[in-house]
Amino acid sequence: MEETKKENKRLLIASAVMFFISLLLQVMARNVPGFGEWYSKSIYPLIVGILGGITGLFPFALLEVLSILFFLFFLIYAIRSIRNLKKILISSIFTLTLLFFLFTINCGINYYRRPFSAYSGLSIKESSIEDLILLCENLTETLNRMSGSETSKLELKGMGAESVAAMKQLGQLYPELDGFYPQPKPLLWSYIFSIQQLCGQYSPFTAEAIYNRSMPDYNIPHTLCHELSHLRGFMREDEANFIGYLACIGSDELSFQYSGYLTGWIYATNALEGADPQAYAKVSGMLSDRIWDDLKYNTEFWGKYEGKTAEVSNQLNDTYLKLNSQSDGVKSYGRMVDLMLAYHQWEKGTQPKSIEIILRE
């Protein structure tokens, strides 16, 4: 009995310490100018390098296995301690504060660093409809050329290795992306992602980039690079999409290039459809039938999992983004188009490299 009291006291003290440290770091990240930037460059790389190096030794998604083991352990623990609700409550508090601590040091603070666009040197301004149409047309032409060649099919392991290579290659252009990358890992039971309509996820608890192995092939390369960008501390979803786009189109692997360009095409033409439906109809009519087959299959795949679970998942994701100061919630994904426009204009030499304002949605 006395030993149980001591154990409960130790757990409560540890919980209080972790919660205080986490709360302090969260407050500093939100209110102390430059703290998030300093942390993401000096402390976070050390933590994710050590943790990611350890979890990277496992060929499977450690988060998935640990989640199952934790559920079984907690279930058995609760049954054995059913008469001691206080012990269950204290253990639950310790677990929650531990997760909050890991989230904070491996993810939460990074939301308050400078965005990737501040390092890219791109001139991000309001763009005209003509600029958007030109971007969509160029992406369409590129994809049509690719559709006439055989895109190699990589195994999942090969995709993981290539995604790391693509991100490291991009890191040579942008030093903020340079560093250690553990290989992304597929969920063994990807159904859990499919019913939530998730392509992938960064786990701050295990420093792993995890993806849905069941989704259509063209989604996978961009998803891998997107999730790996989070391991470099860039948490904004719109910017992770753009980083994934740059990594894929800069890859030596054709399947990665195809994934990047097609993902970019989808975002750009979705924006065009909302701005000018007639121009969208013209551009989409230019796309080859072979690529439309991929898009139709993608629609059919995700359509199978539409339902209440996907709606709840989307709402939770929206709330999560807003809690971490992405006030537009899931709408922030659409801003990838603004970065693509700026990059496209810079490639043509029509824009100087400096950061300003993004295209209005």
Nearest of 174, 166, 175 to residue 225 by alpha carbon: 166
Q: Which residue has the tokens 């990277």?
A: 56
- For residue 86, the model assigns a pLDDT of 81
Nearest of 284, 261, 262, 286 to residue 273 by alpha carbon: 284
Q: Which residue has the tokens 């994701």?
A: 317
- For residue 349, the model assigns a pLDDT of 62
Tens place of pLDDT per residue across the chain (361 aa): 667 778 888 999 999 999 999 999 999 999 999 999 999 999 999 999 999 999 999 999 999 999 999 889 888 877 877 777 788 888 889 999 999 999 999 999 999 999 888 888 776 777 788 889 999 999 999 999 988 665 556 666 788 999 999 999 999 999 999 999 999 999 999 988 999 889 999 999 999 999 999 999 999 999 999 999 999 999 989 899 999 999 999 999 999 999 999 999 999 999 999 888 999 999 999 999 999 999 999 999 998 887 644 443 444 444 434 444 455 543 334 578 889 988 888 776 654 443 333 333 3
| Tokens found for residue 6 | 């001591």
C-alpha 130/C-alpha 279 separation (Å) is 10
Looking at residue 149, the DSSP 8-state letter turns out to be S
- For residue 350, the model assigns a pLDDT of 52
- For residue 45, the model assigns a pLDDT of 93
- For residue 165, the model assigns a pLDDT of 96
Task: List CB contacts of 269: < 8 A, sequence separation 6 or more.
Answer: 136, 280, 283, 284
| Tokens found for residue 240 | 């992770």
Q: Per residue in 8-21, is it b (16+ CB within 10 Å) or e — as a string?
A: beebeeebeebbee
- For residue 325, the model assigns a pLDDT of 47
Give DSSP secondary structure letters for 70-105: HHHHHHHHHHHTTT-HHHHHHHHHHHHHHHHHHHHH
Length of the chain: 361
C-alpha 189/C-alpha 197 separation (Å) is 14
Residue pair 239/115 in contact (Cβ under 8 Å)? The answer is yes
